[in-house]
Amino acid sequence: MGDFEVLTIYLTRHGETEWNVENRIQGSKDSELTTNGIRDAKLLSKKLSDINFRKIYTSSSKRAVTTANILKNNSFIPIIEEDALKEINFGDWEGKTKIEINERFENEFESLWTSPHLYDHIPHRAESLNDLRERVGHVIQNIVSSNQEGNILIVTHAVVLATIIADLNQSPIEKLWDIPYVHGTSLTIIHFDDNKNLEFKILCDTSHLD
């Protein structure tokens, strides 16, 4: 990271999608935002309306890009699409319901959410959590090092957000889910001071949806 004065990163998850409602795993695949997802993104946009963002970084998945454009709210903030911010690739699980996945991969599916350090990605040809952490770690480091100060907004996905938080906290993978639920359009704010120390100001906050 280069020297900077004060940098604040705002992180959010995309709004609710059709596959979220259908309990389908998305990963690298995509589905449209629902009416509720669009509404929630607009509510977050209103909450952030007084923040002067220098840039918006977003996953290149359509659901995240759509959310980013709602948050941009017709401003001139540049939106930068990053493939490295895409959700973990769930392989053969993608597009299937959680019930369908449990019928064939009960142990793997349960371990992902309850014992992530034991999660086996190989049977369903998916991305590993270690590979995801490396991918996400690189892109966050690049974002921080290329922005010396100001406010940056990142729009991404649930497992990616949990991974970013764990990585910045230097937490092991088994602690991946030791955070509040990553709700669609929830807001996490991380403050970096001039000595490159970081502080989580809020974590997975949904007060704008109340």
Would you give the DSSP letter of residue 149?
Answer: S
Tell me the helices (H) and strands (E) count for the chain, helix number first: 6, 6
CA torsion through residues 81, 147, 12, 88, sign:
positive
CATH number for the domain harbouring residue 172: 3.40.50.1240
The predicted structure's pLDDT at residue 1: 40
Kindly report the pTM of this predicted structure: 0.96
The predicted structure's pLDDT at residue 5: 62
Assess if residue 102 is contained within a domain: no
Assess if residue 66 is contained within a domain: yes
pLDDT digits (tens, 9 = 90+) for 31-54: 999 999 999 999 999 999 999 999
pLDDT digits (tens, 9 = 90+) for 90-120: 999 999 999 999 999 999 999 999 999 999 9
Assess if residue 100 is contained within a domain: no
- When computed from its CA atoms, the radius of gyration of the chain, rounded to whole angstroms, is 17
Assess if residue 116 is contained within a domain: no
Catalytic residues: 14, 87
**Structural domain harbouring 67:** 7-91+128-209
Assess if residue 163 is contained within a domain: yes
